[in-house]
Copies of this chain bind each other. A is one copy, B any other.
């Protein structure tokens, strides 16, 4: 089993380290946070300096997992280039295009495929993590024209070992999608919380499930939310513009005719799409792990398919019957 070296031991990186160890892999990490380092060591994990961690990764031909906020990725990749330039490489950062661009710049011959587990909590740091965080979750693994099959397989294998299901996707398609279903929800939660709080104690005293649910992620660490949303600026601007258009149309319709029919019906149908995708029966297929197979996997990912198992030379995919 390939060893795993996790750089960054916050909620996500810390949970990856735990899950990799639980899967029986040799695993160690490094973190710039003394608090996280102390907590991880207290839980029995090996925490090294980043240089030590990467040197060991090079010596053991490990998979290096970059699990820092986007703002720290460039500095980490430079250390990887210095200490483990041949390492297997993936990341769990919430935006994929900017990370891929950094990898191309800093480690042009890296054996890299990007990753993004779709699991989170409003809490952060090592102490908030646990090995089962990714159980049943989607975990995007990027496929580009130049992605090496072996590198993709390593990243996907880690995701499966962590209990997740792999969604093959291009970085661009991923970033556009998560702008809609992760980054815009954070912006909406922040705006909704502020408009509610502007109503004073009476409004907050009357607030119930719809407000609590709609503002939950506004309680997340602001630095992490900013790193995530600001790091996906172009795609998020598109999503915000779509939202402004729809919200403006709702406003116009409510003001002029008193009706929110279009808005409410579209929202109800869209929410049903989400349930339908989740509840749909699945078709299984097997895709060979070669260059053409990777392209096919990306197509299946765009249709809602997920890789649920890997053999030495093939991927098992479950696709919704939509």
The residues of A with any CB-CB pair to B shorter than 8 Å are: 118-121, 137-138, 140, 167, 169, 173-174, 176-178, 180-182, 184-220, 222, 225-226, 229-230, 233, 236-237, 239-244, 246-248, 250-251, 254-255, 258-261, 263-275, 277, 301-306, 320, 322
Contact = CB atoms under 8 A, between A and B. Distances in A.
Copies of chain A in the complex: 2
Contacts of A244: 244, 247-248, 251
A259 to B, nearest CB: 6
B210 A189 contact: yes
Given A205-B138, A246-B191, A210 B264 contact: no
A269 B196 CA distance: 11
Contacts of A202: 167, 169, 173-174, 177, 301-304
A131 B322 CA distance: 39
Nearest to A273: B197
A274 B195 CA distance: 12
Report whether over half of chain A's contact residues are helix, strand or loop; otherwise say mixed.
Answer: helix
Point out which of A198, A259, A271 has the most chain B C-beta atoms below 10 A from its C-beta. A271
